[in-house]
A and B are shown apart, each in its own frame.
Chain A
Amino acid sequence: MTKVYLSAVTALMLAAGSGAPAVAGSKDVVVEGAWSRASIGTNRPGAAYMTVRNAGDEAVTLTGIETDLAMRPEVHRTSTSDQGVSSMAPAGDIRIAPGETVALEPGGLHAMLMMLQRPMVEGEAFELTLSFSDGGEVSVEVPVLGMTARGPKD
């Protein structure tokens, strides 16, 4: 009886949760080590890197990114063939299993920042919001490092 009551309360609480990420996985997503390189003006796209860790016990799916820095932000994947030919394309949805970490890093996945609205200036930072299929969002502050940065600690 107590059990049934508790479930009912849980259900009510969920219903009351109104749109906000409920029990689902994106609230357990941890974004770390974000960084980007300074841009030259706004003519060319920029890129941002980070790790996205699913610390929960349900799979989550990254469906998109948003930032006021770029009109067209999109997760891209660079792939390099056996012959050493590299190219990039939109990565589509990215499923992250429980306990798994997906790295956005040079030569792999990157947050491609197309149609920059302002230059990416070394020493500044911008906010990037990751959207997940459960409706949840996770925002992260991305520092802009120098052009020759090779990782988050440069």
Chain B
Amino acid sequence: MQLTAIQKFLWVLVGIAGLTFVWGLLWMGPRSDQSGSSQDPAFSAAFELTDHQGQIRSEEDFAGRWMLIFFGFANCPDVCPTTLAEVAAVMDGLDGDADKVQPIFISIDPERDTPQALAEFVPLFDERIIGLTGTPEQIAATSDTFPIYFERIDDASAPDGYTMGHSSHLFLFDGQAGFVDSWPYGTTAEEILTDLRKRM
């Protein structure tokens, strides 16, 4: 009897571990609701961070508009400027529909990326792009909300002795902040624009 109870308990643990694993594999946020209809988004964008002009911004500020969100750091010379340049080209390509889309760059390097540092980086690609940053704790929390990963990589030859590894996907959220789609790094602005136009 005693053993069976322990066994049951262990099986529950195994079940929880399994579910957690699958959950991780699906890269779903903690707010995901798998019991709902298939229409439900896998996760929703949620953040409260400081923009490059020093204002607090949350996903609610962009309700009713599509959000293009990506993660990076201003000291990144390759992937981040490339993605910013693609997003700038997407915004240009949207023409009159550009005001229906809010592009957002979230820093995963809060130590260096103060609002001021972002102000002299992000809007130079396209002034419609908003740069967001926060305290290290706030930024750490974004990887709980979004299915992203980032890490500090010590590299003696890099500026300040470190560089960052980070998820380089570009995420699309709908007007209710629900996840819609993501594009891997390297997707051209033209492809993104085509996908986006189909959705809008």
Give me the interface of A with B, judged by CB distance under 8 Å. 37, 40-41, 44-47, 72, 74, 76, 78, 80, 83-90, 106-107, 110, 112-115, 147-150
Contact = CB atoms under 8 A, between A and B. Distances in A.
Contacts of A150: 82, 85-86, 89, 189
Contacts of B124: 40, 147
B148 to A, nearest CB: 8
A76 B165 CA distance: 14
Contact of A80 (B81, B158, B185): B185
Nearest to A150: B85
Contacts of B89: 148, 150
A42 to B, nearest CB: 11
28 contacts: A45-B77, A72-B157, A76-B78, A80-B168, A83-B149, A84-B168, A84-B184, A85-B150, A85-B167, A85-B168, A86-B79, A86-B167, A87-B153, A87-B164, A87-B166, A88-B78, A90-B157, A110-B77, A110-B78, A112-B77, A114-B159, A115-B159, A147-B125, A148-B85, A148-B89, A148-B126, A150-B82, A150-B189
Interface in B145-177: 149-151, 153, 155, 157-159, 163-169
A5 to B, nearest CB: 51
B47 interface: no
B120 interface: yes
A46 B126 CA distance: 19
Interface residues of B, number: 36
Contacts of A44: 74-75, 77, 121, 159
Interface in B65-109: 74-75, 77-79, 81-82, 84-86, 88-89
Q: Interface on chain B toward A: helix, strand, loop, or mixed SS?
A: mixed
B186 interface: yes
Contacts of A46: 77
A83 B189 contact: no
A76 B155 CA distance: 12
Nearest to B27: A83
Contact of B165 (A72, A86, A113): A86
B167 A106 contact: no
A78 B82 CA distance: 12
A68 to B, nearest CB: 18
B52 to A, nearest CB: 13
Q: Which 6 A-B pairs have the closest CB atoms?
A: A87-B165, A86-B168, A106-B82, A47-B77, A148-B85, A45-B77
Given A41-B120, A148-B126, 15 more contacts: A44-B159, A86-B79, A86-B185, A87-B153, A87-B164, A87-B165, A88-B79, A89-B153, A89-B155, A106-B186, A114-B157, A147-B84, A147-B124, A148-B88, A150-B85
